[in-house]
Amino acid sequence: MNKVVSKNGVYGDLTVIGLAYIKNSRSFWRCVCSCGEEVVRRSDSLKDSACCPKCKGRRQSARLTTHGETKTKLYQEWQGIKRRCYSPKDSMYHLYGGRGIKMCDQWKNSYEAFKEDVSKLQHFGEPHMTLDRIDNNGDYEPSNVRWATWKEQGNNRRNNRKLTLNNETHTLSEWSEILNMNFNTLSHRYRQGWSDEAILTTPIKQPKGEVKA
Of 147, 122, 119, 120, whose CA–CA distance to 133 is shortest? 147
Residues 32 and 86 in one domain: no
Q: Rounded to whole angstroms, how far apart are CA atoms 56 and 63?
A: 11
What confidence tier does 64 reach under pLDDT thresholds 50, 70, 90?
low
> What was the pLDDT predicted at 9?
83
105: exposed, middle or buried (Cβ count in 10 Å: 0-12, 13-18, 19+):
exposed
Residues 138 and 173 in one domain: no
What confidence tier does 150 reach under pLDDT thresholds 50, 70, 90?
low
Residues 183 and 137 in one domain: no
Q: What is the DSSP pairing of strand 162-165 with strand 10-11?
A: unpaired
> What was the pLDDT predicted at 62?
61
Other C-beta atoms closer than 10 Å to the C-beta of 26 total 13
3-state secondary structure of 146: strand
When pLDDT is averaged across residues 43-62 and rounded to a whole number, the result is 81
55 within domain boundaries? no
Residues 119 and 148 in one domain: yes
103 within domain boundaries? yes
Q: Assess whether pLDDT exceeds 80 at residue 183.
A: no
Q: Rounded to whole angstroms, how far apart are CA atoms 140 and 94?
A: 16
29 within domain boundaries? yes
Q: Assess whether pLDDT exceeds 70 at residue 154.
A: no
Alpha helices in the chain (DSSP H): 53-65, 73-86, 105-108, 111-118, 150-155, 172-179, 183-191, 196-201
What confidence tier does 21 reach under pLDDT thresholds 50, 70, 90?
very high
When pLDDT is averaged across residues 57-83 and rounded to a whole number, the result is 78
Residues 6+ apart with CB under 8 A from 4: 43
> What was the pLDDT predicted at 210?
47
Q: Rounded to whole angstroms, how far apart are CA atoms 69 and 35?
A: 29
Residues 77 and 151 in one domain: yes
pLDDT digits (tens, 9 = 90+) for 188-213: 787 778 898 998 999 877 555 544 44
67 within domain boundaries? no
> What was the pLDDT predicted at 7?
47
> What was the pLDDT predicted at 135?
85
Q: Rounded to whole angstroms, how far apart are CA atoms 32 and 43?
A: 14
> What was the pLDDT predicted at 160?
62
pLDDT digits (tens, 9 = 90+) for 76-132: 999 999 999 999 988 888 878 998 999 999 999 889 999 999 999 998 988 888 888
Question: What percentage of the chain has pLDDT greater than the value 90?
Answer: 26
151 within domain boundaries? yes
Q: How many domains does the chain have?
A: 3
Residues 143 and 119 in one domain: yes
**Inter-residue contact 68 to 31 (CB < 8 Å):** no
Q: Rounded to whole angstroms, how far apart are CA atoms 5 and 14?
A: 12
> What was the pLDDT predicted at 145?
93
Mean pLDDT of the chain: 82
206 within domain boundaries? no
**Inter-residue contact 145 to 132 (CB < 8 Å):** yes
Q: Which domain holds residue 36?
A: 1-50
